[in-house]
Amino acid sequence: MNNSPIGVFDSGVGGLTVAREIMRQLPNESIVYFGDTARVPYGSKSKETVTKFSEQIIRFLKTKDVKAIVVACNTASAFALPEISKETDIPIIGVVDPGAYAANKTTVNGRIGIIATEGTVMSDTYAKVLKGINPELQVFSKACPLFVPLVEEGWLYDSVTYEIADRYLHDLMSYDIDTLVLGCTHYPLIRRTIQKVVGDDVTLINPAYETAKALEKVLVDNGLSAENRKAEHKFYVSDSVSKFRTFALGILPCSVDYVECVNMEQYSE
Amino acid sequence: MNNSPIGVFDSGVGGLTVAREIMRQLPNESIVYFGDTARVPYGSKSKETVTKFSEQIIRFLKTKDVKAIVVACNTASAFALPEISKETDIPIIGVVDPGAYAANKTTVNGRIGIIATEGTVMSDTYAKVLKGINPELQVFSKACPLFVPLVEEGWLYDSVTYEIADRYLHDLMSYDIDTLVLGCTHYPLIRRTIQKVVGDDVTLINPAYETAKALEKVLVDNGLSAENRKAEHKFYVSDSVSKFRTFALGILPCSVDYVECVNMEQYSE
């Protein structure tokens, strides 16, 4: 048994959809969440920059005595997971592998679509992981840069969002995919609009759900699960505390009492 | 005469519309441009964070021996101009004042609209400056957070962009404005779409144009103008050099040979 918290980080607030799944599936586990709200988004930035920011965050999370780390950001998982794993000996899992394994289990015709940020698509990480699992799979990717701002604008079930989703997904649908990975943590929030565009014959994969399941396995395998108790969650951000709290309260099933602003520059090498 | 360069900075690439105007109006002046592409955007972030980033950039620009600085970002101008002016003795001008003066000269009915980022609108800086010029003016503001991602997606004259602009501008138009300030450096790139929505009776104000005129006055008044010669421009960014160069070449009337990536953390206090 180990009651230390799980470190969860994201470029901003999107990773709260992953934190929410961990809270649901692993209610005894405390979370230390970090959202890099001063430097968000990561999805349009380079591998070098995303890796540097992620390394700083790992150093910060280590000061909070976390027993495992979840990279709750597809772009950071896609670009930086190998490098940041070198920063620490504790288990560290990203969202890409769990999402890819679930997509492989789900597909019948072997044709999988990935929608994600520009960075995640450019990295080609989902395709590489999927082909590693099964070289026969065919993977089709599409960057959807307007989805995050549409979610942040709150236009979740809007005619404009539908029109933009229709445009982004048109080519993917012509490839006859039967499985679509929501490869950015914001996308589950417009899941219904995306499902309407692709139709009920395409199964949507939410890596947040799969990542929480993968985390449970890692904790059990390493004897790191917390005992039965009331978990306590703490939140850290690099920009405004109040704006984060408002958004978090709309997503999480818990109160968001402890939020602190952190100056990330002190975690540079 | 002073042949030192002008420092121009922005959260990313939007400020290139201001640099372009300076190149057009002041062809002898060399520019040192800094785009904070690792931390872009500023428009959705807090005053404290935008001010801290802007102070670091001023410290960087001072190492380049600039003779004057243009804050080519509405959010940084709105939030941080007083604080960053303390960092240096050289002339420093933002884009808000020139835009506000031009709007005051243009309006006939005294009703002015401002469209800008969330940060610029929240700061209420345009309204304060305009009321300082003429207390009788009525100012109506609207944040348009989807405009920047739409411009970066390249959907400049698109039906989706028109639909979103129509939605954002609907309330502003009901206030019978006759002048509309494009209060974010990206917005001039969708100027034609905005004009189509508001109609030809509303005059659009581009602060980039006005800022270059204001810069010329500051240089002349302080005896800082460059002699007749071929100007040389250098570009610095905090993220990927190649991505910046591609975008810059689409906006600027010059070659973009010198682009260097800078680690901004070394300019922390």
More confident residue, A269 or B133: B133
B146 interaction partners in chain A (CB closer than 8 Å): 146, 149-150, 153
B42 to chain A, minimum CA–CA distance in Å?
8
Nearest CB neighbour to A46, from listed B152, B163, B239: B239
Q: How far apart are CA B266 and CA B205, in angstroms?
A: 37
Please provide the average confidence, as pLDDT, over all residues in chain A. Answer: 97
Burial of A255 (0-12, 13-18, 19+ CB in 10 A): exposed
Reference B17, options B243, B174, B185; nearest CA is B185
Q: pLDDT tens digits, residue range B109-129?
A: 999 999 999 999 999 999 999
Given pLDDT bands bounded at 50, 70 and 90, which one contains residue A147? very high
The C-alpha atoms of residue A179 and residue A108 are separated, in whole angstroms, by: 8
**Which residue of chain A is at minimal alpha-carbon distance from B261?**
A49
| pLDDT per position as a tens digit, B157-199 | 999 999 999 999 999 999 999 999 999 999 999 999 999 999 9
Quote the CA–CA distance of A39 and A207 in Å, as a whole number. 23
CB contact (8 A) between residue B167 and residue A152: no
Tokens describing residue A46: 């380079």
H helix or E strand, kind and range, residue A235: strand A234-237
Please tell me the predicted confidence (pLDDT) of residue A121.
98
Query: B149–A152: do the CB atoms touch at under 8 Å?
Result: no
**Is A184 one of the annotated active-site residues of the chain?**
yes
A141: helix, strand or coil: strand
**Of A144, A184, A254, A261, catalytic:** A184
β pairing state of B111-116 and B179-183: parallel
| Portion of chain A with pLDDT greater than 90, in percent | 97
Query: What is the nearest CA distance from B230 to chain A, expressed in angstroms?
Result: 34
CB spacing of B39 vs A44 below 8 angstroms: no
DSSP line for chain A: ---PPEEEEESSSTTHHHHHHHHHH-TT--EEEEE-TTT---TTS-HHHHHHHHHHHHHHHHTTT-SEEEE--HHHHHHHHHHHHTT-SS-EEESHHHHHHHHHHH-SSSEEEEEE-HHHHHHTHHHHHHHHH-TT-EEEEEE-TTHHHHHHHT-TT-HHHHHHHHHHHHHHHHTT-SEEEEESTTGGGGHHHHHHHH-TTSEEE-HHHHHHHHHHHHHHHTT-PPPSS----EEEESS-HHHHHHHHHHH-SS----EEE--GGGG--
Interface check for B100 against chain A (CB to CB < 8 A): the answer is: no
Q: Is the confidence at residue A87, as pLDDT, over 90?
A: no
Query: How far apart (Å, rounded) are the C-alpha atoms in residues B21 and A218?
Result: 57
Strand order from edge to edge, sheet including B259-261: B92-94, B68-71, B6-10, B31-35, B234-237, B259-261
| pLDDT at B87 exceeding the cut of 90 | no
pLDDT value for B14: 96
Is residue A254 annotated as part of the catalytic site, yes or no?
A: no
What is the structure's pLDDT at A269?
Answer: 77
B166 vs B173: CA distance, rounded Å: 10
pLDDT in tens, A192-241: 999 999 999 999 999 999 999 999 999 999 999 999 999 999 999 999 99
Which pLDDT score, from 0 to 100, does residue B154 have?
Answer: 92
Pairs of residues, one from chain A and one from chain B, whose beta carbons lie less than 8 Å apart: 58
A38 contacts B38? CB cut-off 8 A? no
| Span B77-100, average pLDDT | 95
Give ipTM to 2 decimals: 0.94
B19-42: average pLDDT: 98
Is there a contact between B238 and A49 if contact means CB atoms under 8 Å apart?
Answer: yes
Average pLDDT over residues B18-46: 97
Q: Determine whether the interchain pair A39/B37 forms a contact, defined as Cβ–Cβ distance below 8 Å.
A: no
Query: Which pLDDT score, from 0 to 100, does residue B213 have?
Result: 97
Q: Is A37 on the interface with B (CB under 8 A)?
A: yes
Q: Is the pLDDT of residue A134 over 90?
A: yes
Assess contact for B194 and B187: CB atoms under 8 A. yes
Q: Tell me the chain A residues in contact with residue B239 when contact means C-beta distances shorter than 8 Å.
A: 45-46, 48-49
The rounded distance, in Å, linking the Cα atoms of B68 and B62 is: 10
Q: What is the C-alpha to C-alpha distance for residues B253 and A77, in angstroms, rounded to an integer?
A: 39
Name the closest residue on chain B to residue A148, using Cα atoms: B149
Phi, psi (degrees; rounded to nearest 5) at B253? -85, 15
Please provide the average confidence, as pLDDT, over all residues in chain B. Answer: 97
Contact A38 B37 (CB under 8 A): no
Shortest CA distance from A158: residue in chain B: B164
The percentage of residues in chain A with a pLDDT greater than 70, rounded to a whole number, is: 100
User: What is the percent of chain B where pLDDT is above 70?
Assistant: 100
- Nearest CB neighbour to A38, from listed B37, B49, B167: B49
pLDDT band at B73 (very low <50, low <70, confident <90, very high): very high
Residue B68 near residue B45, CB atoms below 8 Å: no
Which residue, chain included where needed, has tokens 């990480």? A125
- Which residue(s) pair with B92 in the sheet? B69
**Does residue A45 belong to the interface with chain B, where contact is any CB pair within 8 Å?**
yes
Residue B218 binned pLDDT confidence (cut-offs 50, 70, 90): very high
For A83-112, the DSSP string reads HHHTT-SS-EEESHHHHHHHHHHH-SSSEE
Q: Closest chain B residue to A240 measured between Cα atoms?
A: B46
For position B269, what pLDDT does the model report?
77
CB contact under 8 A, B146 and A145: no
Q: Above 90 in pLDDT, residue B137?
A: yes
Residues 199-228 of A with CB under 8 A from B: none
